């Protein structure tokens, strides 16, 4: 894991409601009102971690879903390659673990980058478990 100097440490924070729009725009399944409400709920009620720029705006972040899994990991393209994702993952994982919560995530099968990142950080795959999300379509 990259060294965390005091300048970087001072930029580690939690997301707040002013960040909902940014997270919603960058989340693969967001970008609409439903995504906005989900992210607003998660930021309001569950732990998160982010690294901010000099203006206090998040450049890398991770949230905890309402079922306790780590998720919505994202780093703005211009800030990638600095180890920020590892820092936000490990910071939030340590916080959850210290509070007695399980530390786990779900990764889409085709998300090779996230799979490799989490595996390199010591997360272990459980091949006996596969999740599928099904959503009822009320518009019919």
For the segment 63-102, what is each residue's pLDDT rounded down to a tens digit?
Answer: 999 999 999 999 999 999 999 999 999 999 999 999 999 9
- Nearest residue to 56 (alpha-carbon basis) of 10, 6, 20: 10
pTM of this prediction?
Answer: 0.88
What is the distance between the alpha carbons of residues 63 and 74, in angstroms, rounded to a whole number? 10
Map out the domains of the chain as residue ranges: 6-120
DSSP lists the bridge partners of residue 27 as none
Average pLDDT over residues 24-45: 96
Q: Please provide the average confidence, as pLDDT, over all residues in the chain.
A: 91
DSSP lists the bridge partners of residue 50 as 13, 61
Which pLDDT band, with edges at 50, 70 and 90, does 59 fall under? Answer: very high
Length of the chain: 140
Q: Percent of the chain scored above 70 by pLDDT?
A: 96
In this structure, what token pair is assigned to residue 120?
A: 């390199």
Q: Which fold, 6-120?
A: Aminopeptidase (3.40.630)
């Amino acid at each position: 894991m990259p060294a965390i100097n005091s300048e970087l440490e001072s930029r580690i924070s939690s997301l707040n409601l002013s960040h909902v729009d940014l997270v919603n725009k960058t989340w693969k399944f967001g970008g609409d009102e439903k995504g906005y409400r989900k992210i607003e709920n998660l930021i309001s009620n569950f732990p998160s971690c982010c690294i901010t720029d000099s203006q206090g705006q998040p450049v890398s972040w991770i949230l905890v879903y309402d079922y306790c899994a780590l998720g919505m990991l994202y780093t703005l393209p211009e800030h990638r390659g600095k180890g920020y994702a590892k820092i936000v993952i490990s910071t939030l994982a340590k916080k959850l673990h210290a509070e007695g919560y399980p530390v786990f995530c779900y990764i889409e099968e085709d998300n090779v980058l996230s799979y490799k990142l989490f595996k390199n950080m010591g997360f272990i795959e459980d091949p006996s478990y596969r999740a599928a999300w099904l959503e009822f379509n009320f518009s019919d």
